[in-house]
Every structure is written in C-alpha cells, then in structure tokens.
C-alpha cells in the first residue's frame, strides 16, 4: 500500500456507492463534513467504465480535495473487485446479467480511479468504511448495513478483519440474510414483518459470531429507531458511510 503525505488541513472526498444512489461529501481533517452531501442516482446497467464516469461526475460537484475515499457495495481486496451482487444487475431490481458479471470480475477499480483522479484514492467495501466510523475499538465488533442488500464488517480491538460477505450466508427458509432483510424483502413483506426478521437476523449472527457489539447502519436502519434490538445493538446514522472516509486512511484497509 502506497503511503502519502498530506497537509494538516487535508480535505477528503468521501463517496458512498449504493445500489440506488451515489452519495458524496468533503470531509475536513477532523472528519467533519465540510460541504453539503451530494447525491446522484446509480446508473443501470452499470459496467465498470460507467461507474467510474459517474464517480467523476459526482466529484465535479465537490472540488478542492487532496484525496478520495470510496465505499463500494461488494467484496474488494487491494482495490480489485471480487464479488458485486448489486451492480451486476441490468436494473436495480433485475436479474444478474452474466455479461456484467464478467466485466466486473477481478476489475481493478482502485487502479482505474487512481488513473481517473489526480488525487490518491482508496477503495474499500462500504460496510468496512461505515464500520470504521462507528466502532469503539473494544473487543469483537460487528457491523451490518441494511440498504439494497445486507453488508457486513468485522473488527477486533479496532482492527478491521478480512472482509467476509456474511449477508450471503444461509439464514432461514432456504434464503440468505440478504434475501430475507434486503430492501426487496422489506417492500414485499412490509415494515413490521421485516423488523421481526432483522431482530431474528441479529440473534442468528450472534449465535455463530459471538460479537461483543453490533452496529446497524444503511439506509433502512432508520426504520429500527425505537425498536428493542437487545443490549448489544446500536443503530447508527447512514452518514457513517461517508464519515468513514477519514478512518480508512488511518486503518490498514
């Protein structure tokens, strides 16, 4: 991983890529928002070249940064894409497109963005980025993001652990966690049944992870405000997906 020197007043462009939209903002050196949050729709179909162009379009509305952080909705290692369920669909709620799967498989997103930007870029899984903003650094902390799908991240004593796509693990009725508590399921079964599923999912994750604490973020986490999720659970703001853009420069991601 390349090391860079930045000014004390470094400004970070932080971008959170979601299945329905890309959100971005400038962050000051203290990790506070130094601009309004900008959002544009995620384009479909979305091959790598189109995503890169859309990220550049978003960045043009937020000038004046020294570095770029990108939270990506899939498995990324060393900037290279290994698994991406959402952007391999021809439409947001459509089926997986084999041609898009082939285009994304192994794509060096970090390298493509390094070339596209004049500033250094770091790319990480979006749940890893969000988790980096909210964890306390004590014990085993687990993060899930509830949006188009179900993302996950794991930390031990503040250290990010290797990324696992635990949202795709078997959950119930022959379906995965993402099948049961993703956005399509929420719309299909309604808010109340979906909330009950989320509570079950938290218990199920704990039954094999034995986490010390779980943080629930993402666009649909707001629907859980006021719900008793147990003493080890905290609902966090969806803005953490952007605020984590500082933390990933401070962690070995």
Q: Which domain-ending residue is among 126, 149, 171?
A: 126
How many whole angstroms separate alpha carbon 27 and alpha carbon 126?
A: 17
- Does some domain include residue 6? no
Statement to judge: residues 120 and 48 lie in one domain: yes
Statement to judge: residues 191 and 237 lie in one domain: yes
- Does some domain include residue 37? yes
Predicted confidence band at 253 (pLDDT cuts at 50, 70, 90)? low
- Does some domain include residue 153? yes
Statement to judge: residues 95 and 155 lie in one domain: no
Statement to judge: residues 202 and 117 lie in one domain: no
For CA atoms 102, 104, 105, 106, give the dihedral sign.
positive
pLDDT of residue 247: 87
Please check whether residue 177 is in contact with residue 166, taking contact to mean a CB–CB distance below 8 angstroms: yes
H helices present in the chain, as ranges: 48-59, 98-104, 109-116, 126-134, 177-181, 183-189, 191-209, 240-250
Backbone angles phi, psi at 218, to 5 degrees: 95, 170
Statement to judge: residues 165 and 73 lie in one domain: no
Statement to judge: residues 75 and 155 lie in one domain: no
CB atoms within 10 A of CB 212: 15
- Does some domain include residue 181? yes
Statement to judge: residues 136 and 48 lie in one domain: no
Q: Which domain-ending residue is among 105, 126, 147?
A: 126
Percent of the chain with pLDDT over 90: 80
Structural domain of 198: 129-242
- 159's tokens: 């250290």
Asked if pLDDT for residue 85 goes beyond 80, the answer is: no
Cis before 45 (ω within 30): yes
Statement to judge: residues 79 and 164 lie in one domain: no
Backbone angles phi, psi at 124, to 5 degrees: -145, 165
- 9's tokens: 């007043």
Domain harbouring 65, CATH code:
3.30.420.40
CB atoms within 10 A of CB 99: 11
pLDDT of residue 83: 80
- Does some domain include residue 248? no
Backbone angles phi, psi at 155, to 5 degrees: -135, 145
Q: Which domain-ending residue is among 63, 95, 126?
A: 126
Predicted confidence band at 100 (pLDDT cuts at 50, 70, 90)? very high
For the chain, what is the mean pLDDT?
93
Predicted confidence band at 1 (pLDDT cuts at 50, 70, 90)? low
pLDDT of residue 2: 61
Please check whether residue 89 is in contact with residue 29, taking contact to mean a CB–CB distance below 8 angstroms: no
- Residues 6 or more apart whose CB falls under 8 angstroms from that of 109 comprise 48, 51, 52, 70, 72, 76, 79, 80, 81, 123
Statement to judge: residues 62 and 152 lie in one domain: no
Q: Count how many domains the chain has.
A: 2
Rounded (10°) angle between helices 48-59 and 109-116: 40
Asked if pLDDT for residue 66 goes beyond 80, the answer is: yes
How many whole angstroms separate alpha carbon 225 and alpha carbon 133?
A: 19
- Does some domain include residue 5? no
Backbone angles phi, psi at 203, to 5 degrees: -65, -40
Reduced to 3 states (helix: H, G, I; strand: E, B; else coil), residue 143 is strand
Beta bridge partners, 135, equal none
Statement to judge: residues 193 and 238 lie in one domain: yes
How many whole angstroms separate alpha carbon 58 and alpha carbon 154?
A: 29
């Amino acid at each position: 991983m390349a090391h860079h020197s930045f000014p004390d007043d470094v400004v970070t462009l932080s971008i959170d890529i979601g299945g329905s939209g890309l959100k971005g903002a400038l962050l000051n050196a203290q990790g506070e928002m130094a601009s309004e949050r900008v959002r544009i729709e995620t384009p479909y179909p979305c091959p790598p070249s189109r995503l890169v162009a859309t990220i550049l379009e978003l960045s043009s509305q937020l000038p004046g940064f020294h570095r770029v952080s990108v939270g990506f909705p899939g498995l990324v290692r060393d900037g290279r894409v290994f698994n991406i369920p959402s952007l391999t669909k021809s439409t947001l709620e459509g089926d997986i497109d084999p041609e898009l799967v082939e285009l994304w498989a192994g794509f060096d997103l970090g390298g493509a963005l390094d070339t596209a930007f004049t500033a250094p870029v770091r790319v990480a899984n979006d749940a890893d980025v969000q988790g980096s903003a909210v964890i306390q650094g004590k014990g085993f902390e687990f993060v899930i993001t509830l949006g188009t799908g179900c993302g996950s991240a794991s930390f031990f004593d503040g250290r990010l652990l290797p990324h696992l796509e635990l949202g795709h693990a078997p959950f119930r009725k022959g379906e995965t966690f993402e099948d049961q508590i993703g956005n399509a399921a929420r719309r299909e079964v309604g808010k109340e049944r979906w909330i009950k599923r989320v509570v079950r999912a938290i218990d199920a994750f704990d039954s094999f992870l034995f986490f010390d604490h779980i943080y629930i973020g993402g666009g649909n986490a707001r629907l859980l405000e006021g719900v008793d999720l147990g003493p080890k659970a905290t609902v966090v703001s969806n803005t953490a997906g952007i605020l984590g853009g500082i933390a990933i420069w401070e962690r070995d991601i």
